[in-house]
Amino acid sequence: MESPKCRRFYRHHDDFSICVNIGEKGYVLAEHPNERFTTFFYVVYGSGKCGKIFESDSTKIESKKLTDVRKYIDSEVVFQADKDFHMIGFNTLDKNVKWEAELLTSENKIISTTKEKSFLLCLDDEVTVNDKKFKRYAYAEIFPGIEYNLNIGENGALGLFSMKL
C-alpha cells in the first residue's frame, strides 16, 4: 500500500506568501518552527487537523472556512488529512509582523479598509472585484478610503488580509 501523497505549490509576494497543498486522505505533514510561517488556512475541499507535535490539543481545519493558526507560528506542527484535500495557507514573511484576516463571501457586496497594508486574495472561484474577474490564488492590494465592489459567486470565497502596523 502506497503512502498518501500531496502536491505542494508556493507563491511569493513582497509582503506575504501563499502555499497550496492538494493531497490525499491520511497525508501527514510535519513542520519545524524555522519553516512555520502559516497564519491562516482556507480549505477549498476536504478536512484535517493540525496541532503542536506530541500535544493532544489540535485545531480542526474544515472545508469552506478560514482557520486562524497564528498560535502555531513558532511551534513544531503536524497536519493530518481526514479526507482528500485542497488547502491554501496564508503566510507571513516576518514572524514579527502580525496579520489579521476575514473571509468574504457572497453576502459581502462592498469592502473598504482602514489599514495601511491590505490584500484581497481569491480563495475560491467566482469572484469579481470592481468588474475584474479573479482566479483562485490571484491577489490585489487595496487602499484605505476606497470602496471596492464585490461580486462573489455562491462557490466563491475571497480573503481580506491586513497587516497590523
Q: Are both 18 and 88 inside the same structural domain?
A: yes
Q: Are both 158 and 106 inside the same structural domain?
A: yes
Domain of 138, CATH number, reads: 2.60.120.10
What is the number of domains present in the chain?
Answer: 2
Cα separation, 51 vs 59, in Å, equals 6
Last residue of a domain, one of 29, 64, 92: 92
Q: Are both 80 and 130 inside the same structural domain?
A: no
Percent of the chain clearing pLDDT 70 (strictly above): 100
Cα separation, 37 vs 26, in Å, equals 23
Q: How confident is the model at residue 91 (pLDDT cuts 50, 70, 90)?
A: very high
- Write down the pLDDT at residue 72: 96
> Is the pLDDT confidence value at 100 over 90?
yes
The reported pTM is 0.95
- Write down the pLDDT at residue 33: 95
Cα separation, 165 vs 26, in Å, equals 39
- Write down the pLDDT at residue 165: 74
- Write down the pLDDT at residue 1: 81
> 81: domain range?
6-92
In a domain, 1, yes or no: no
Q: Are both 66 and 103 inside the same structural domain?
A: no
Q: How confident is the model at residue 125 (pLDDT cuts 50, 70, 90)?
A: confident
- Write down the pLDDT at residue 43: 97
